[in-house]
Structure 1
């Protein structure tokens, strides 16, 4: 009597294995996402705990006090916050138009044989360490601005009513204006790279249709390319702003590290990152160290608020464009 061979249901086994693999992959990527949130929360809480002595003594007024006297144990975050925001604002004012021009040149105007070398040069600039930018700014940019640019700025713009205070001061070369320029040079490669990649996503048919209707290059850029990529462009700008807010070494070299509040862009100032980098090793008391860690927590909050505003702007743009 011959035994009957029963068919093996391989499809059910394969489905079960695929289901287990899918669940495992889902748990893996979920753990990766949770790890990011836990790390972010742990970093914020550790800085908040480290700065508890400063917050206990000065309270919320620590954010707007302009004192910084290690001898008297009197500290405040206003001057570093002001310097951080001003230098980042200067960087954005300079970097955004230049980055937009570079991206437009590479995608719409430059011949094909030139796009590769210029794009590679931008990527190389993005890879240069920040300390190199700081040393270049200190030994090249600071003497040039102090001898040839800032004297003219002080003489011709310092007396203008209303805005003259921004451009008056001793032509030292060091100051918030110089720090803003160095930051602009640093973030231009990042913003322009993002803009270039985004502009390349615009369908060629849209641009060719506009050109066929008689539109100029300027009209194509403003009426076709920018509306199509508006959300991504705003995201790239805020990515560069986040880099500018947290930059340390490049700013430390050229900012002047003077802990005083001044509206002049020609005078030395300070920033949160520069203050921490310069004084952390010299913190010889628990209150001094706690104040520096509290500054780190303030920088975390500033960056978080800026990125949250960016997310809200992108969401509003998406709703306006009908994507949500």
Structure 2
């Protein structure tokens, strides 16, 4: 019996040891899998940066810092004269206008869905907004070119041109003539495209507000507007800003829809109704037929877009950290 008991104890110890070894192996495998995945992402990011730098190096050597301050884009000239000022200007301007349109509308829709909309209509409206995010960008571009562009050129743009004619500054910003292809048209398309991101994220973070906070505000006589302004938005400002920055990153890099409707003109005009171009649109429209210094300059534009997006996202992250720190105090 003693021998039999010892054999059973030995078998139990063996089973426990084998189980512990299996757990340790699973932990090590999980640890190295996640670590390799993180390293792979960093390697891919580094590879992209190196490829852009190597491809754009001839243009960097040729133009230097003047590449950022030159407006003219003449790849067929001898020697080629290539400058990034116009694409950078168009990229920043269209993204800013798009965010000015999309942020108030997106937050307004999110407030309506969470605070005012009847329960039976919340799900259909929310699904309709989310479906906008699934529409391919080329469809937005075609719709903007064939439908939205003519409507804006025949109705909206003439109204603003006549309204601000002769007004200092505003007369130049909203100057004519009307055009189917313009910076404003591209900005409006971008605003529609990033609207689902802002709405979805804002709606989700608004839903995290504790009901007791809103009920307390209503209990002391606050209106719906006061509850939203003084309770909901302060409680969720970090998430709302994060959603807006995510949408801004999408707007900065959007290509096909903008290429269809912006006009692809390498010229800076004070009017938002004039044709223009963006970094991504310039690369998409010319890269296939480029070579030599022209192609290197387009690669440099891609590097500039990468750096611009990185700084925007980094600034957003720093802003969110400051808000979180301030809230913690």
TM-score by length of 2: 0.95
Is residue 242 from structure 1 mapped to residue 249 from structure 2 by the alignment? yes
Among 45, 69, 74, the alignment partner of 2:50 is 45
Is residue 21 from structure 1 mapped to residue 26 from structure 2 by the alignment? yes
Is residue 182 from structure 1 mapped to residue 189 from structure 2 by the alignment? yes
Q: Measure, in 2, the Cα distance between the counterparts of 1:113 and 1:85.
A: 40
Q: Unaligned regions of 5+ residues in structure 1, if any? A: none
TM-align CA RMSD = 1.4
Name 2:4's counterpart in structure 1: 4
Q: Measure, in 2, the Cα distance between the counterparts of 1:63 and 1:201.
A: 44
Q: Measure, in 1, the Cα distance between the counterparts of 2:90 and 2:28.
A: 49
Query: Aligned residues, how many?
Result: 322
| 1:28-64 Cα shifts (integer Å, max 9, x gaps) | 1121112111111111110111011110100122122
How far 1:2 sits from its partner (Å)? Answer: 6.7
Among 128, 131, 136, the alignment partner of 1:129 is 136
Among 35, 38, 46, the alignment partner of 2:40 is 35
Alignment of 1:24-103 (within 5 A): 24-72=29-77, 73-103=80-110
Alignment of 1:262-273 (within 5 A): 262-273=269-280
SS of residue matched to 1:3: helix
Report which stretch shifted further, 223-232 or 153-162.
153-162
Among 306, 316, 319, the alignment partner of 2:322 is 316
| 1:201-259 Cα shifts (integer Å, max 9, x gaps) | 11112111211222111111111111111111100000000000000011011101111
Q: Measure, in 2, the Cα distance between the counterparts of 1:83 and 1:224.
A: 37
How far 1:20 sits from its partner (Å)? Answer: 2.4
Q: Measure, in 1, the Cα distance between the counterparts of 2:39 and 2:320.
A: 24
Among 284, 293, 306, the alignment partner of 2:312 is 306
Q: Measure, in 2, the Cα distance between the counterparts of 1:37 and 1:130.
A: 28
Alignment of 1:163-178 (within 5 A): 163-178=170-185
Q: Measure, in 2, the Cα distance between the counterparts of 1:206 and 1:26.
A: 41
Contact kept in structure 2, 1:91 and 1:181, CA below 8 Å: yes
How far 1:16 sits from its partner (Å)? Answer: 3.1
SS of residue matched to 1:174: coil
Q: Measure, in 2, the Cα distance between the counterparts of 1:62 and 1:32.
A: 37
Q: Measure, in 2, the Cα distance between the counterparts of 1:299 and 1:267.
A: 22
Report which stretch shifted further, 24-33 or 75-84.
24-33
Contact kept in structure 2, 1:66 and 1:76, CA below 8 Å: yes
Contact kept in structure 2, 1:159 and 1:168, CA below 8 Å: no
| 1:81-133 Cα shifts (integer Å, max 9, x gaps) | 00000000000000000001000000000000000100010111110000111
Q: Measure, in 2, the Cα distance between the counterparts of 1:291 and 1:184.
A: 29
